[in-house]
Structure 1
């Protein structure tokens, strides 16, 4: 910093491709802070170090970072909204250093505009300062890429490329020559990889024009069979680092290159403003609308994941009932083992969130084997996890109780459930965004002065990333048939316990009584097939319709999963019992009365 005369240096969480989750060699912010959450930015001044993170990670950050770091709670009352707001509000005549590869184009433009009146500006050192001191930094991944079969993708890569070329040709004005894609090559080419844990994607750049299509990727990742596949769809392969001389030399010829607002600012700087046009990511919009084949694949994947989840819940309840102490880590590991047995299983979609007691109050808590935290009997236990299958990416959360829950826990769970049901049963006209529906998930909680500080739900991929846009319940993007989205309200009592219920949904057309304005009405269909425990539900707080929804959901789980569980008597008996349970906690057994269970 002294050499470059910097007043601040910013270390984002993202990599050069804007990935939310990053490869081990890109975990610069985690390495320098010790904070393992997926969202957060480190800011180092000449005298002080700051970690800026949102409400999902406030408590986790306090636990993980040492006294050298000051935690900035972004989004809190009176606090900055994010790291750029924090910087803007404190600098004057300052030079702020950042690796331009890790800064999105739109963020760089907005931040520079805000800094200019303060006599400050961004500065881009030629080397990443963290890399200079990270002596044992892991090398970049060279894991092989592979073809995702057409039976799962629903559309050939050649047709996707032809569609994109047609879209580029129709872009006004008629000066756009091609598009540089920095984070969607996996979907565009029907390829998958293993560069980032839990995300079957790979680091690459894809240039598409009318005359040529070039994939810039590490040579070691492409096998002979992949090279043959690329040739079959007229894609040229070049070295990953060749993208920079390609851009500098303007090898595509005349015209401008289309980039998205999320493209790395380093690319913008290399191109210069005369040679690029910034447009919203049409590929992201296409990817978000799942084909019928992709939706059928997701239904099958969620059935398989539901089978694993039910077998695991039956095992866990049996073990706890027998008096065994089960750690958070062991519970998560066992669930993964059940998932491994499923057809098309490729790994986890993200690290298992397996949390009891106060740990469950951390929305993104991950257990560690060495901690040996036992699942408690007097607080809720939360598990948020999902498998990656060749035909779908799964994301499910269930909260259960292995003892007698308190009235406070039951009331909170009931309010969370009511929000979950309100989203699941929503009917809305075309043009409605997830953000407009978000209040439905919170209304019941707000009634009792409760809330949660994370989003209500997000899009997800078809054997791709577990978080996918542009749709979501925090997004203003209108929901359309084919969008998939999670529904996950929760409540967290700090340092005590937490709970969340999450199911995956897809958007579909529905018929209404009056059909005002015609066939424009939309609703959701549930993909997730895991029962919701009724023990913590308060019947007197629920409407007749809400009680029936719970019974219908749990009965549907039995109907769909029973054929796959006939050889696992423990799991099938558990599922039948859950499907037949009444709402609420069982009344205590009268003194002197004994019951023999058959």
Structure 2
């Protein structure tokens, strides 16, 4: 830092592709800070070290960082919104960052903010963490493999043709040079992509570089007559090599992207980049040679075709059957008096999933939490530090499998004893929000953000809330978090979008609860059909019973009671064929589908009965 005369150095969580999850060799922020959460930034000054992270990770960060670090709670009352907002408060400073780890959009915004404070971003040629990380893990060499038509429903050649058509339609690049006037360069005929989820979707290829995500690190250049994939040759076998050749795609080594850009091998004209493109690419091109345009691949990828939707429905049934086998096992072990830790419970569920058809791995790190750990929305247990599951507080499990035909994301919260009134009332409010989203009917043009209040309305009545989003899009054997739509987004929901529905409530230091199911946006028929066939709703993909033990029946409407009963009966109908050989799981499933709501109150002498 002294050599480059820096006042601060920023170490983001992301890699050069702005990935949510990163490979072991890219976990720079985790290595230097000790914080293992998936979101946050380490900021080093000349005299101190800071960790900036949002409300999902405040408590976890406090536990994991040592006395050398200061936690900056982003989003706290009267606090900074994020790390950019926090650094925006400094003046006359030089702030270093690896330009590869910063998107074009964030860099442009941050530079504008800093200029007003007489500060500026500096981009050292080497990553400072890499210089001192002596035992850094090697780069992944996992093989790339083809995702066939039976899962994608659309050939890569058709996707490439669609993208080339979009490039061709972009207007000519126009820019101004001081007072000389305006000049038009040739029409945009090229584009560069570094979002590896989009590349995997576009080319119908998958890999194993990134934990929980079947992706491979690469860059991609496309023009009307040329396509180049930049990825390491060690990952490309003969089958994939032939496949790329059939699509007319050249392959170059991963790091050859920089010489390709420096030499301007595409010829004349500006290059189209998305706002999420690594800022290092923008710097290499210089602003005279690129135009920023929204990523059309994001929009195309988000609308699942019929093959993808059918695959997701099958994947969620298999994943749901694993949940049922596991719940039956867990309840049986606890009833026998065994002590089961959060870690063991999570491991066992993964083992049940592992036997499923088309299973590839987990979609994200298991969230298995009991007691105060469940109040941490993104808590993940370790073998040595896991808590034993008790019968006094709710137990929360948020997990899902990655299958060749779909990515799963499900949360269920259960109680193995007698819930308190406070727990039952909060859980019932969470359930009411979950039902409200699931049952929503809305006209075309409605955004997820406009529906978000439905999930919170019941909680707000009691002065309760949750600080995370209500739900997000997800991929088809891709990332578990996918946009551009969500229940926080201004993007209108359209048929083919898939989205999670996950309201919750967390009582810090005591317990937490969340109910999450995956939904597909579909057209629905209404009584009046006002303005025609414009009405949309949701089709539930998740098929896992919702425990009724914590539900307070008197708080539910007639319609909500019916919804809960029908959901659990539907789970039984759909999952029984998958559980024919598992008598314990079948017994559990049938009991849950028939169980009444809540637990009978104590009778004379304080005696109570749970009619299990």
Match of 2:470 among 446, 449, 456: 456
In 1, the alpha carbon distance for the partners of 2:600 and 2:147 equals 49
8 Å contact kept, 1:177–1:254: no
- The aligned residue for residue 44 of structure 2 is 44
Q: 1:592 deviation in Å?
A: 11
- The aligned residue for residue 340 of structure 1 is 354
Q: 1:516 deviation in Å?
A: 1.5
Q: Which runs of structure 2 are paired with 1:433-582 in the superposition (5 Å)?
A: 433-582=447-596
Aligned residue for 2:384, secondary structure, equals: helix
8 Å contact kept, 1:53–1:74: yes
Structure 1 outlier segments of 4+, above 4 Å:
588-598
Q: 1:171 deviation in Å?
A: 1.1
Q: Which runs of structure 2 are paired with 1:7-406 in the superposition (5 Å)?
A: 7-89=7-89, 91-173=90-172, 175-183=187-195, 184-406=198-420
8 Å contact kept, 1:535–1:586: no
Aligned residue for 1:196, secondary structure, equals: coil
In 2, the alpha carbon distance for the partners of 1:278 and 1:363 equals 35
Q: 1:52 deviation in Å?
A: 0.6
In 2, the alpha carbon distance for the partners of 1:381 and 1:590 equals 30
Moved more, 296-305 or 583-592: 583-592
In 1, the alpha carbon distance for the partners of 2:91 and 2:604 equals 72
Say what the alpha-carbon RMSD is for the aligned residues: 1.4
CA distances 1:454-475 after superposition (whole Å, capped 9, x unpaired): 1111110101111111111111
- For structure 1, the residue ranges without an aligned partner over 5 or more in a row are none
Aligned residue for 1:214, secondary structure, equals: strand
8 Å contact kept, 1:483–1:506: yes
Q: 1:281 deviation in Å?
A: 0.7
- For structure 2, the residue ranges without an aligned partner over 5 or more in a row are 173-185
In 2, the alpha carbon distance for the partners of 1:453 and 1:26 equals 28
Moved more, 292-301 or 252-261: 252-261
- The aligned residue for residue 413 of structure 1 is 427
CA distances 1:69-94 after superposition (whole Å, capped 9, x unpaired): 111111111001010000011x1111
CA distances 1:140-167 after superposition (whole Å, capped 9, x unpaired): 1111100001100000001100111111
Aligned residue for 1:369, secondary structure, equals: coil
CA distances 1:335-370 after superposition (whole Å, capped 9, x unpaired): 001101111111110111000000000000001111
In 2, the alpha carbon distance for the partners of 1:560 and 1:362 equals 32
Aligned residue for 1:547, secondary structure, equals: helix
CA distances 1:380-411 after superposition (whole Å, capped 9, x unpaired): 00000000000000000000000000000000
In 1, the alpha carbon distance for the partners of 2:260 and 2:603 equals 76
8 Å contact kept, 2:25–2:136: yes
Alpha carbons of structure 1 residues 549 and 592: separation in structure 2 relative to 1, 3 Å: closer
- The aligned residue for residue 584 of structure 1 is 598
Q: 1:585 deviation in Å?
A: 1.6
In 2, the alpha carbon distance for the partners of 1:214 and 1:442 equals 47
Q: 1:586 deviation in Å?
A: 3.3
Aligned residue for 1:382, secondary structure, equals: strand
TM-score by length of 2: 0.96
Moved more, 340-349 or 170-179: 170-179
In 2, the alpha carbon distance for the partners of 1:256 and 1:296 equals 40
8 Å contact kept, 2:600–2:608: no
Alpha carbons of structure 1 residues 100 and 594: separation in structure 2 relative to 1, 3 Å: closer
In 2, the alpha carbon distance for the partners of 1:57 and 1:402 equals 27
TM-score by length of 1: 0.98
